[in-house]
Structure 1
Amino acid sequence: MLPDAMAVAEIGESWRHLETALMLGLWAVAGFLPAPLVLRRMARRQSGSAVEEQRRKAAQQRTT
């Protein structure tokens, strides 16, 4: 995305595509691993009636 002239600012004066892809992959895995635990914990804190109330309010906002 950046022009080739900007490669001078990089370590080794190259874009290091493989390392970039690996780090993005690691960040994605680090985000996806705790996601089910966090979402499950959040869902446990809300009762079914609270979820239904939020759903009803969201539906009302969409219709107005």
Structure 2
Amino acid sequence: SQGKSRRRRIITVVQRQAANVRERRRMFSLNEAFDELRRKVPTFAYEKRLSRIETLRLAIVYISFMTDLLE
């Protein structure tokens, strides 16, 4: 290929481990937020645990319903 050759960034083991820890914390935080949202959105007791996308869609519908109710 022509043009400048790109140098690949060397990532150390320590940097990779730190990135993994940050990603695990990020995912834990995201999962906690979704769990909290699931508790706020009304569902039937027999329903399976909602996926993230189902939770978001149901929350949108619920917020719209509550908004209409207040108007």
TM-score normalized with structure 2 length: 0.44
Higher relative contact order (CA 8 A, sep 6+): 2
In proportion to residue count, which structure has more helix? 1
